[in-house]
Amino acid sequence: MIDKPQPGEYAPFATGYIGLVNTTDLLGLLAQLKDSTYQFFSSMSEERAMYAYREGKWTFKEMLGHMIDAERTFAYRAFAFSRDNVELPGFDQDIYIAAAHFNSQLIKELAEEYKATRESNLYLFRAFTAEQLMRKGIASNHPTSVRALVYMTAGHELHHWNIIKERYL
């Protein structure tokens, strides 16, 4: 069980992500999301995967690619902070999206990449000790704990599921 982080363990922008996580079984939620998110995107046609709800908004492919990018970033930060008190830069999601060219990739391959990324991160998250979960570093100019980053991983995905339900479906 990973206890919910407290204010001061994460940047103010992460409050919304962490607030979306309403379970005491965080790792179980991440495993459940792995399966449901993979199923949703892997069963999507290429035509549907290119849908954006409005001009200038992300396609399904770009959204999934962004979710992969963010998960990798959160997991790397958690890994680094669990080992050492370091400072890591933020990332601009729009620059990452533009540089990645997700729309030229197959949705099924992006779904496989998402699933592999989550499976790998679950091994990392399960291995953290109670002491490691409480360690902090600096991310995007804010003190951030390892446990906050694990919560942000789940909350960020839940945030994007809310956007999918509200604007894409």
What pLDDT band is residue 162 in, cutting at 50, 70 and 90?
Answer: very high
Q: Rounded to 5 degrees, what are φ and ψ at 18?
A: -65, -35
Residue 26: the pLDDT is 98
pLDDT in tens, 91-133: 999 999 999 999 999 999 999 999 999 999 999 999 999 999 9
Burial 149-163 (b: 16+ CB within 10 A, else e): bbbbbbbbbbbbbee
What pLDDT band is residue 58 in, cutting at 50, 70 and 90?
Answer: very high
Given phi > 0 = left and psi -120 to 50 = alpha, else beta, which region is 7?
A: beta
For the question of whether the overall pTM of this predicted structure is more than 0.85, the answer is yes
Query: Mean pLDDT, the chain, as a whole number?
Result: 97
Mean pLDDT across the stretch 70-79?
98
pLDDT in tens, 15-33: 999 999 999 999 999 999 9
Residue 57: the pLDDT is 97
Residues in contact with 116: Cβ distance below 8 Å, sequence separation at least 6, in sequence order: none
What pLDDT band is residue 68 in, cutting at 50, 70 and 90?
Answer: very high
Residue 89: the pLDDT is 94
Give whole-number Cα distances, 167 to 54, 114, 153, 158, in Å.
9, 22, 21, 14
Domains of the chain: 25-168 (1.20.120.450)
In the chain, % of residues over pLDDT 70: 100
